[in-house]
Chains A and B, each alone.
Chain A
Amino acid sequence: MSLIAEGASPVLFEGDGVEAEPDGRAARGSSGNLVASLRCPGAVFGIAVLTSWLLVAVLAPLIAPSSPTAPSAGTLLAPSAAHWFGTDELGRDVFSRVLYGARLSLPLALLLVTLASVVGSSIGAFAGFAGGIIDSFIMRITDMFFAFPSIVLTMAFAAALGPSLQSAVLAIVFVSWPPYARIVRGLVLGMRSSNYVAVSRLLGASSGRLLVRDVLPNVVGPVLVVATLDIGSAVLLLAGLSFLGLGAQPPVAEWGAMVAEATQFFSNWWMGLFPGLAIATVVFAVNMIGDALRDYFDPRSFERPRP
């Protein structure tokens, strides 16, 4: 309720006539401090985990003890020295399958997010620059896409193209681009009326130069943050679709598909647990990195000493 009764500290706004606090020390937001912000424990952990998984994805053929698709031992064996994660219902080594799964999930997730962010940002930037009717039109289309649940759309794609990893990827890109469009359009609109853009234009900058010099540096930050956090969602979505049978088809080793198969073998806990953990650790790691990036890019995140 009232600020005074509750004793809440009101916003101290140093507006016209009073100079805001000079921040002589480099606050977060300068490139020099990207490394510093990524040094926080969460981000370090995230980077370590992600790097490990990327290494696994690259080196899987070398380090996997058995083939991911061919049976290598008896069926439904519990984890042991020979098979660290046990075997599944067809006798395939779960450990190898998890390792090979990384080769699918990670690159696909990265590809998904890259595509979605590039497509979305371009659409959003175009809408922001164009303004007026074009902007409204594009935004209404964006809203339409926002309204689609990804599962429904994927099922539609699967029906049309046949269930496969490719159709799952396409469907996910289709539903993932709208947030980027919205963010970038908002940023561009805000920047169009900002003072430094006005000055740039008065100094003779062309629209192209404005885009590259003034708009892009301010857009990259937020988009990167969203994209990083989106990687986690992409992995989950992919896994989810495979779980529903709409993505990776057997015998491909994909984490989501593995979890799907494991639902029928609940008592053989190792079949679902390890791929599930793999998904969870990747999503967690990526979220930690995304959080650190968000703090780094937030211009208002540094402490301001009061007068």
Chain B
Amino acid sequence: MSFLASSARANLCAPGDETALLEMKALSILRRDRHGWVSLVDEVNLTLRRGEVLGVCGESGSGKTLSALAVLGLLPGGMKVKGSIVYQGEELLGASRRRLRAVRGREISVVWQDPSTSLHPLLSVGTQLTEHLRYHLGLGKVAAERRAIDLLGSVRVPDPTSALRARPHEFSGGLRQRIALAIALACDPKILLADEPTTALDVTVQAEILRLLRELVDARQLSVVLISHDLGVVSSLADRVQVMYAGRVVERGPRAHVIGTPRHPYTRALLSALPGSSAAGSKIQAIPGSPPLPGHLPAGCAFSPRCSFAVVGCATERPGLEAVDEDVAIACPIDPFAAGVAK
């Protein structure tokens, strides 16, 4: 399996790029099952720069959430992790629990999909906000509360002072997610991992949250890893996108390229399956077959059994991520959508 042949060929964040805030290299996550180890995430690379939003797309089973969990050492038990995750020059994989605890919330924070389960149901909003401030920043009670009120204001929760005393269930889903964002950003982390942050919300509420996220990114130079199966959400917010399938990255590049003019057959197929994104008049196309189960991947390209462009070699030769254009890399030697090649 070959990665970038040389950093001269592609302008992707080459290893050693000093503006890279987070660099994940060859991350592999395996799970134990009856017959041995099953690969859930396979040699995934990810680079995140300061102030950029990286969208990680894929359907369920693609490994996108696991990759994010691995950054903070939040994987469920029984998993083996290989590779390297470097944050500001420091290796996080295998770091001590103490170090990880110091990083979580302070440097790298998380927002989950469902605020009704990610917020503590019995503690008041104020307590949940201030505990972060007091743990990481050592603020006193009064200072922490003042800061908490500011935070709630920055995520536009109405009447922050009384909101502090209330419990999460007294708020609507959208407000809860704003509170979750406030908690995540309480200590001014540099990186926010957002795992399907708007999936559980109504579409109008989602739009508000996406706008809020954009504001927060611009105001704080926040870097965000936005994990979502919803390509529309990623298209609205992300600067760069990588698409995952069966635990592997299949396409990576700027948002306008990956979502606007995708090159990998899977990305194309995924976009064609979406209502409303196909050209007016053409019907949505389902992708034949179903994603492979972990441990049952074909020897070559994971997508080959379902790909309409697959040739004989695709099932046996595992494709690496190769740059095909300035800044765009795909894992497909066939590259059927290259400019000038008839479809």
Interface residues of A (CB under 8 A from B): 1-7, 9-22, 24-25, 303, 305-307
Could you tell me if B60 and A2 are in contact, using CB atoms closer than 8 angstroms?
A: no
Main secondary structure of the interface of B (DSSP, over half): loop
The answer for the CA separation of A17 and B97 in the assembled complex, in Å, is 34
Residue in A2, A17, A25 whose beta carbon sits within 8 Å of that of B199 in the complex: A17
Could you tell me if B69 and A9 are in contact, using CB atoms closer than 8 angstroms?
A: yes
14 contacts between A and B (CB under 8 A): A4-B104, A4-B132, A5-B135, A7-B73, A7-B100, A10-B118, A13-B117, A17-B229, A22-B61, A303-B33, A305-B31, A305-B40, A307-B63, A307-B65
Residue in A7, A11, A21, A24 whose beta carbon sits within 8 Å of that of B101 in the complex: A7
Could you tell me if A4 and B110 are in contact, using CB atoms closer than 8 angstroms?
A: yes
Could you tell me if B104 and A5 are in contact, using CB atoms closer than 8 angstroms?
A: yes
Main secondary structure of the interface of A (DSSP, over half): loop
Residue in A9, A15, A19, A22 whose beta carbon sits within 8 Å of that of B113 in the complex: A15
Q: Mark B106-129, 1 if CB is under 8 A from A, else 0.
A: 000110111001101001000010
Could you tell me if A18 and B109 are in contact, using CB atoms closer than 8 angstroms?
A: no
Q: Measured between C-beta atoms, what is the minimum distance from B74 to chain A in Å?
A: 5
Given contacts A4-B105, A305-B61, 20 further A-B contacts (CB under 8 A): A1-B131, A2-B120, A2-B132, A3-B120, A4-B104, A4-B109, A4-B183, A7-B97, A7-B104, A9-B69, A9-B75, A10-B117, A11-B117, A18-B59, A18-B229, A22-B61, A305-B31, A305-B38, A307-B40, A307-B65
B69 to chain A: which residues have CB within 8 Å?
A: 9, 306
- How many A-B pairs fall under 8 Å by CB? 93
Q: Mark B55-96, 1 if CB is under 8 A from A, else 0.
A: 000111111111001001111100000000000000000000
The answer for the CA separation of A220 and B255 in the assembled complex, in Å, is 54
A3 to chain B: which residues have CB within 8 Å?
A: 118, 120
The answer for the CA separation of A259 and B92 in the assembled complex, in Å, is 63
Q: A7-B73, A7-B74, A306-B76 are in contact. Are A17 and B118 (CB under 8 A)?
A: no
Q: Measured between C-beta atoms, what is the minimum distance from A303 to chain B in Å?
A: 8
A12 to chain B: which residues have CB within 8 Å?
A: 65
Q: Which residue of A lies closest to B128 (CB)?
A: A2
The answer for the CA separation of A101 and B72 in the assembled complex, in Å, is 61
B229 to chain A: which residues have CB within 8 Å?
A: 17-18
Could you tell me if A21 and B61 are in contact, using CB atoms closer than 8 angstroms?
A: yes
Q: Measured between C-beta atoms, what is the minimum distance from A51 to chain B in Å?
A: 28
The answer for the CA separation of A55 and B72 in the assembled complex, in Å, is 58
Residue in B38, B60, B105, B291 whose beta carbon sits within 8 Å of that of A14 in the complex: B60
Residue in A6, A10, A22 whose beta carbon sits within 8 Å of that of B112 in the complex: A10
Could you tell me if B293 and A306 are in contact, using CB atoms closer than 8 angstroms?
A: no
Q: Which residue of A lies closest to B295 (CB)?
A: A305
The answer for the CA separation of A7 and B108 in the assembled complex, in Å, is 12
Q: Which residue of B lies closest to A24 (CB)?
A: B293
* From A10, A11, A16, A306, residue with most partner B Cβ within 10 Å: A306
Q: Measured between C-beta atoms, what is the minimum distance from B146 to chain A in Å?
A: 20
